[in-house]
Structure 1
């Protein structure tokens, strides 16, 4: 049985109401995004599919930006609000219980940073647990929709951050290119040196009309563990958050 909460150095994530629990790759993604995408000039942040609110809380620890967190599942939205209210940054965190399609219809703002750990699976076997389906599958949300939403909502110099399964890397690259999104940084993640890659993390920007896509894409790899211990790279990135480091 999964723990009902996960304690970090500066906040706690309760997860008893949500289908998707705090996981290592999501924690790595949040910390990696803070390291590479959070800027002093970042003022408006959007977290698409916030779940427990984990990524928003990781960002809030290092910024005074306003963070909008969108979540379609009612129980997850309630959980995120509770986690935000219990944190030191409750006044800058806002939960929107609605679909991204509904949120888009209401928005005229642009965001300096958009982060998303989107539903992983499309057109695959569904479980009988509805809220887990919403979190893991894409009947309500697709990578194509995410790419278009980023184009619509990113500011001219804004950064998008996305975590996807490694096997969908080329699909995401093609979608990003089609939607005029420039991939500026990618990181391939594996559990250990003997495991295959299982996650890809991307940073991207809108391709400016007056410029060709001549940005050099940074590429890196991260092993979560080396031998029985966490790798030094993983420890360094997660040190501001994990109690064990």
Structure 2
């Protein structure tokens, strides 16, 4: 049985109501995004699509000068994220909506849109409905997600997605179809001896040569790598 909560240095994620629990790749992703955007002096507007437990919003809120809008379609995940936000010290900067992102509207365009989306399109489905919704939600394909993000994104804004590595070709195709460019990739390995299993991808409307970087969570001896420790040291209790 998964833990009902995950305690970080500055906040706690309760996750008993959510199908998708806190996982290491999402933590790496959140810390990586926070590192890239933390030094901005002007306040930025951030949209978190499919916030789940609220993990990404809270990781970014810890480091960014930003206001946050989070959107969640699932009833219980919405309730859980709301509770996690209310218990955090950044609750005054976070707004959450119980909504389908394709029905979401905002008075502003967003400087940064982040999502750990339903990413197992065409893959074998779980027999658990909530996990299916979180992983496979057919109404939110990668194509639909990018189209929606494009309408909500500021002209100089960024979309940042966490996806399985095998979806990279799909992402490149859909990005091109939506007039977007992949400008930064984080290629993630579980260990230094494994193949890539996740990507963090930054997309923008303006073309730029794509910067590619790698990270392994653990080394061949199953110890956290120095790169992982440096990225997560401000979040994980025991680093």
Normalised by the length of structure 2, the TM-score is 0.95
> Residues of 2 paired with 1:205 and 1:107: CA distance?
20
Q: Which residue of 2 aligns with 1:217?
A: 210
Residue pairs, 1:89-128, within 5 angstroms: 89-103=90-104, 106-128=105-127
Residues 1:78 and 2:72 are matched in the alignment? no
Q: What per-residue deviation string (whole Å, max 9, x for no partner) do you get for residues 72-114 of structure 1?
A: 00000000000000000011111111101111xx334200110
Residues 1:241 and 2:202 are matched in the alignment? no
> Residues of 1 paired with 2:205 and 2:2: CA distance?
39
> Residues of 1 paired with 2:66 and 2:216: CA distance?
31
Residues 112, 157 of structure 1: 8 Å contact kept: yes
Q: Which residue of 2 aligns with 1:3?
A: 3
Q: Which residue of 2 aligns with 1:54?
A: 55
Find runs of 4+ consecutive structure 1 residues off by over 6 angstroms. Answer: none
Deviation of 1:43 after TM superposition, in Å, equals 2.1
Q: What per-residue deviation string (whole Å, max 9, x for no partner) do you get for residues 199-239 of structure 1?
A: 011112113xxxxx3x1211011111012210000110111
> Residues of 2 paired with 1:73 and 1:101: CA distance?
14
SS in 2 for 1:58: helix
Gaps in structure 2 of 5+ consecutive residues = none
Gaps in structure 1 of 5+ consecutive residues = 208-212
SS in 1 for 2:111: strand
Deviation of 1:41 after TM superposition, in Å, equals 2.8
Q: What per-residue deviation string (whole Å, max 9, x for no partner) do you get for residues 22-51 of structure 1?
A: 000000000000111343334210000000
SS in 2 for 1:149: helix
Residues 134, 140 of structure 1: 8 Å contact kept: no
Q: Which residue of 2 aligns with 1:41?
A: 42
Residues 41, 65 of structure 2: 8 Å contact kept: no
> Residues of 1 paired with 2:151 and 2:43: CA distance?
18
> Residues of 1 paired with 2:144 and 2:52: CA distance?
18
The RMSD of aligned alpha carbons is: 1.2
